Structure 1
């Protein structure tokens, strides 16, 4: 699938352009802010070719597409007006914690490339000076050092811009607030060792270069002030008066109160982590190492970035060294699966995810392509990450510059030798565990050398192997899936199956199992059978737009049902009168778990007759 096609599908499946309040992206995820998340078709998105997973976390609807996210994002912006976030009254607010994580994430996401690139440049300079290839006194070193240091030194300015943008205030006024903390006349007071005051109020002079918390507090207060001033100042005067008053109020308040408080708060967090490390470096490292994978899974890992950057601004970051074991453990898992599997497609997947994980620290393709598919591997990564994190914690390893943990960023950590041991142990453990104990869940996955080529014309008795029978949930006429007018279903992007043109408006359970999905609109139901088949019954095409009209669900998510139980009632004639088709795809969404899916040869079918036969 091309990037443009994938972009179009994603926009449609999140509810269309009109349902998107804003969109930003990080290294691997499209982070949507939706007006109504129930309008998004999460199941269809997860089954799109090119989408690794879908995560709802921190008030965001995150579509994980891997390292080609910039290309997909670019295509989306061509076809839809879904720019970066601003404060919109249409946006669901969510919990305070979710909103804080969202603000942090949206503020750092635009800086991701600059931070990672500058960090790697500083790591390269470390190698060059250690090996004697470059003198630390040379002009070349100072120029490259300036390139690597700039984004960190002037971080308050960059954060002022991105944070103000996120909070709906003027971005460059936010940047000016950060810049004021680094202005030479102001910093010169600190250099000269002088004390000062503002209208008689003593000012505590501090070094705000590379700081995070002071500008977060200052710009957050500025965003509130900006809205207030725009309400009370005449529109014709706002262009100059609002920025002028904002700077005149916020900058003094920052150097008097917000700045020192932010610095002290950051120092307190860093000291707490250092304290825990000195009391039990092993335990702290194990917890941080094991927990990082779960933070990444839910997209909450950005919440630790301010802490890491604040630690780096003072000395070094032990927390960065502890969590570094997790990405390397995930890369080790990919290598272990690559060595063990005989499935060509899985070998290609694990090999392709190993390279970016090992060399750049981008591991979402491993998380969603392997770990979420083979959940047996999750404990392997936890164990390996905990061991590697414990080693780094025990020996006090610290990151000296900001860089994604990877094989190439090793010089960013010290002592380097211990760090190499820590991440090497994490990588080796995660490689060895799937080799020893396998990676498959209880249900074996298909193996390429055991594939059995069958199609719907092959009689069932010719098939050797375990099978599961799916009964028809509807009475009506049988259609091939490629005859459905919806391209997502017709292309089998969501999985193989069959379609029914219903003549009776009742949906019955096709298997014994649990209701895994019950859409609030009632137009679709998902059920997971006792044997593990995941079945989606989608009544009609685009009927989600009816918002529940003419549908009456008889079950809810989590209910256990028996084959033949009534799941849903719907009014066929009313739906058709409203301009919608009632053609109902019946899809096996975990198609990849099966050798083949064979459909009935009947042209007409009654509810509870055999519709599909799936072969394991």
Structure 2
């Protein structure tokens, strides 16, 4: 590829993914905390409702404080995470968020004071606890301001002058402009969702329930979560109950696969996804290991998710505390009985459809059925996309790759943070987070290069894509760059599996001998009949 198209692709990728990248990178560090705290709040509410815990007791007050603190001070936590994501000072971001919640401001709001003045300009006061959008807008302004100050302020005094100037500018702007506008934006989006739900909760639930799995796989669910949290700030949220049908349908599919398959590796994979999916709402193992691999299950997840979501939408189910949908978080939804009906139907449909109709294509056999070998594929040698140490897939700390579920191949411990094209072909898939890429060679091999273990949680941080899905590529073209040191400092391994996802179409997938490779060295040989 020429340099000009490559630069164009970089700009397009950056422009289209910027907002999603900021959203995901900002919420990812605290989403577990939000879910855990929401679960605690739901538990306290249930204990109070059944009479085991008095709302006037010290125990209730302490546990309520533990569960509610992260939501009340959400602008502080988001200020820190957003600023960090944008490369600015996270502590300054946190202080900007905290300025909205200082006792002086809260006292005025609680006493019905509608406005104060700042240098003669009216400041409209509001309750900014649990809000999302005001601090997002403020941090989007702070990031370029911080970069500007680093350029124009003398280096030796930046440590205290930059934060002072930033606070002098940002806190008044947030109270004067960003706060009111962000509040209106959040309320507007919430009103639109509520309006659609009221007009046709069944339709809204069917659409959200059927697409949630694929939104999550693509990382697009991060655009919805802030709206759900903003809805909670004003009462309750209808979005997550409709989306909740999808993870329960996935668990149903996983249980059916576990009971039906005779493949030990697939059975182990399905089992590994059932417990975290059912008890914590984390379904990555099911999504990537089963749904994407066995395409028939995509139809099942669409059907089950749509019907379950339509039930919850039509019955007007609301989320009253932020949680990830799971068995343990059921008390966070109201009415509980109607919610259980919706997720129960989704679960049963996912299970029944998979168990009755199967999850593999009709007549699909394992690699010992040679009738389908060499159809559409030719023998070839795949070059190495990386430079580093070669290890066996079984040594990778990821069940999907270690068991060969995704496909046969090898893994590389990279020495250089560059992925180059190992072949001539086409980019068939590119994860929005930039940590994985799928390539199809001109000879028919389907290659997946997956950088690191659990690096999807970095939400694109430290990864730079130089191509787009659908691009034609030549051997040696630069595909992805990644920062090895930064990824490892963040606590993630950079072990990179290189697998042939259509391994069943080959007689043999053999790693070339050698313990180390350079870019373009022979890595995998593919043989057909």
Aligned-partner Cα distance in 1 for 2:178–2:439: 52
Partner of 2:488: none
Show the counterpart of 2:373. 468
Verify the 8 A CA contact 2:79 2:96 in the aligned structure 1.
yes
Between the aligned partners of 1:314 and 1:535, the Cα distance in structure 2 is 48
Secondary structure, counterpart of 2:125 in structure 1? coil
Per the alignment, residue 314 of structure 1 pairs with: 234
SS at match of 1:487: strand
CA separation of 1:126/1:537 partners in 2, compared to 1, >3 Å: closer, same or farther?
A: closer
1:589 counterpart (483, 497, 500): 500
CA distance in structure 2 between the partners assigned to 1:278 and 1:196 by the alignment: 37
CA contact (8 A) 2:393 2:409 kept: no
8 Å contact 2:83–2:90 — kept in the other structure?
Answer: yes
Structure 1, unaligned runs of 5 or more: 1-37, 39-58, 60-90, 453-463, 475-484, 498-513, 539-555, 560-566, 570-586, 600-609
Partner of 1:151: 70
1:467–1:613 Cα contact (<8 Å) kept: no
Number of the residue aligned with 2:276: 356
Question: 2:28 maps to what in 1?
Answer: 109
Aligned-partner Cα distance in 1 for 2:301–2:133? 32
**Equivalent residue in structure 1 for 2:152, among 199, 224, 232:** 232
- Write the distance in 2 (CA, Å) between the matches of 1:287 and 1:410: 22
Partner of 1:131: 50
Go from structure 1 to structure 2 and tell me whether the alpha carbon gap of 1:238 and 1:366 turns closer, same or farther (over 3 Å shift). same
Give the paired residue count: 430
1:175-190 correspondence runs (5 A): 175-190=94-109
SS of the residue corresponding to residue 224 of structure 2 reads: helix
Q: Secondary structure at the match of 1:136?
A: coil
Task: Find the partner of 1:191 among 81, 85, 110.
Answer: 110
Deviations 1:20-49 (A, max 9, x none): xxxxxxxxxxxxxxxxxx9xxxxxxxxxxx
Aligned to 1:174: 93
Picking from 132, 136, 139, the partner of 1:212 is 132
Do 1:598 and 1:613's aligned partners in 2 also have CA atoms closer than 8 Å?
no
- Relative to structure 1, the CA distance from residue 110 to residue 557 in structure 2 (aligned partners, 3 Å threshold; closer, same or farther) is closer
**2:408 equivalent to 1:495:** yes
Bigger Rg, which one: 1
Root-mean-square deviation (CA, aligned residues, Å) is: 3.6
Instruction: Please give the alpha-carbon distance, in whole angstroms, between the structure 2 residues aligned to 1:235 and 1:490.
Output: 48
The offset of 1:536, in angstroms, is 6.7
**Contact 2:372/2:505 (8 A) holds in 1:** no
Deviation of residue 428 (structure 1)?
0.5
How far 1:589 sits from its partner (Å)?
Answer: 2.1
Which residue number corresponds to residue 201 of structure 1?
A: 121
Q: State the match for 1:612 in structure 2.
A: 527
Cα deviation digits, residues 195-236 of structure 1 (max 9, x gap): 311122111110000101001111221222222233333233
For residues 442 and 303 of structure 2, what CA distance do their matches in structure 1 show? 30
Q: Following TM superposition, by how much is the alpha carbon of 1:613 offset from its aligned partner in structure 2, in angstroms? A: 4.4
TM-score using structure 1 length:
0.63
With over 3 angstroms needed to count, the CA separation of the structure-2 counterparts of 1:377 and 1:152, relative to structure 1, is same
| SS of alignment partner, residue 527 of structure 2 | strand
2:300 is equivalent to residue 372 of structure 1: no
How far apart are the structure 2 equivalents of 1:200 and 1:418? 53
Cα distance between partner residues in 1 of 2:439 and 2:66: 55
Equivalent positions of 1:303-452 (< 5 A) are 303-442=223-362, 444-446=364-366
Instruction: Tell me the residue number matched to 1:534.
Output: 445
CA distance 1:441–1:244, change in 2 (3 Å): same
1:476-507 Cα deviation digits (max 9, x unpaired) = xxxxxxxxx9634798977369xxxxxxxxxx
- Name the CA distance, whole Å, in 2 between partners of 1:611 and 1:229: 55
After the TM superposition, which residues 270-285 of structure 1 pair with which residues of structure 2 at under 5 Å, given as runs? 270-285=190-205
Are residues 116 and 237 of structure 1, via their aligned partners in 2, closer, same or farther at CA, if it must alter by over 3 Å?
Answer: same
Give the drift of 1:596.
6.2
Q: 2: distance between equivalents of 1:589 and 1:166?
A: 34
Partner Cα distance (1:442, 1:516) in 2 = 28
Decide whether aligned partners of structure 1 residues 242 and 369 sit closer, same or farther in structure 2, where only a CA change above 3 A counts: same
Distance change in 2, residues 1:242/1:281 (3 Å) = same
* Contact 2:41–2:321 (8 Å) recurs in 1: yes
Q: Give the secondary structure class of the aligned counterpart of 1:202.
A: strand
Provide the rounded CA distance (Å) in 1 between the counterparts of 2:447 and 2:177: 57
Distance 2:439 2:134 in 1: 49
Q: What is the CA deviation profile of residues 157-178 of structure 1, one whole-angstrom value per residue up to 9, with x for unaligned ones?
A: 1111111111122111111100
Offset at 1:393? Answer: 0.7
Give 1:504's aligned residue. Answer: none
Q: Residues 181 and 490 from structure 1, CA distance in 2 versus in 1: closer, same or farther, beyond 3 angstroms?
A: closer
**Residues 93 and 99 in structure 1, CA contact (< 8 A), matched pair in contact too:** no
Point out which structure has higher relative CO (alpha carbons under 8 A, 6+ apart).
2
Q: CA deviation at 1:278?
A: 0.7
- CA 1:528/1:416 → structure 2, altered by over 3 Å: closer, same or farther? farther
| Cα distance between partner residues in 2 of 1:537 and 1:302 | 24
Question: What corresponds to 1:122 in structure 2?
Answer: 41
Q: Tell me if the contact between 2:202 and 2:311 (Cα under 8 Å) persists in the aligned partners.
A: yes
Query: Is 1:496–1:591's contact at 8 Å kept on the other side of the alignment?
Result: no
